[in-house]
Amino acid sequence: MKTSSIQTSRRFAWLPAAIILLALVPKAQAHIVPGEAGGFESGFHHPWSGLDHICAMVAVGLWGAQLGGRAMWLLPVVFPLVMSVGGFLGLIGVPLPGQEIGIALSALLLGTMVCLEVKPKSLIWPAILVGVFGFYHGHAHGVELPPGESGLLYSIGFVIATGTLHLCGITIGLLHRWAAGRMTIRVAGAAILMCGVYFLWAAVQPDANKSAPAKVKSSAVAPANLRRNV
């Protein structure tokens, strides 16, 4: 039994490398229909364009895997839905105060939950926490939409990318089965927590608030670095 599982693991050892290679492939752009291809691509790249968003998404997946059972799918279902509510309000121009601080807190608190492996008795509290932070992230993306894109394709790409980030977190969270894996996940949570501290520090800087309106930086094509989405 063990031998067959090892053989299966070896057989699929190429899969992560193939997925990474496919994810990094540049666009072909042979025949571009203006707006359409750009819409999906922009939406798909958007969640990957800021470390704060990546941290929060992966943390949700990790925490879901730590909680196990229904939580593993409940949190990733709640986050995109609530995030789309935030995105909707951002798109129609409803303001949200403390947006940057909320986003920074999402990485900080979700990282803390993963690091300390917090397991509330009821799933309501994790769902509320994840939902609130999903709202903040969605709103941030809603207000910084790139102009002239296809709304439908952008939305589909955005949601798929967000879900993929959750799946990454859940997949990493499968390490939770082993003692060493549990420790690894908690260390990952600590790293997310530290990122959250940095984001919070950056968010409360006086310059950050002054430059807040300049968030129309069209992060759709921005490289993934420490620069935040908002």
Partner 1 sequence: MSERINKRTILAAACLTFFLCPARADAHLVTTGLGPVYDGIGHFFLSPGDALAALALALLAGLRGTAAGRRALFILPASWLAGGLAGLMTMGWTPLLEEVTGALSFLLLGILVATDIALPTAVVAGLAALLGGAHGFFNGLGMHEAGTGQGALELIGVAVTLFVLVALASALAVTARPMWARIAVRVVGSWIGASGLLWSGWVLHGLK
88 binds partner 1 (CB under 8 A): yes
- Write down the H helix ranges in 174-221: 179-203, 206-210
Compute the half-sphere exposure of residue 52: CA atoms within 13 Å on the CB side of its CA. 30
Compute the half-sphere exposure of residue 108: CA atoms within 13 Å on the CB side of its CA. 14
Q: Which stretch binds partner 1 (CB under 8 A): 50-58, 86-94, 110-118, 194-202?
A: 86-94
Is 86 or 196 the residue whose CB approaches partner 1 more closely?
A: 86
Closest-CA residue to 143 (of 46, 85, 215, 48) = 215
Over the Cα atoms of the chain, what is R_g? 18
Question: 184: which 2 tokens?
Answer: 């690894």
> Least CB distance from residue 158 to partner 1, whole Å?
7
96 binds partner 1 (CB under 8 A): no
202 binds partner 1 (CB under 8 A): no
92 binds partner 1 (CB under 8 A): yes
Question: 84: which 2 tokens?
Answer: 């789309």
Closest-CA residue to 79 (of 155, 130, 128) = 130
Which residues within the stretch 130-159 sit at the binding site for partner 1 (CB under 8 A)? 142, 145, 151-156, 158-159
Which residues within the stretch 16-75 sit at the binding site for partner 1 (CB under 8 A)? 31, 73
Residues within the interface to partner 1 (CB under 8 A)? 31, 73, 76-77, 80-81, 83-85, 87-93, 142, 145, 151-156, 158-160, 162-163
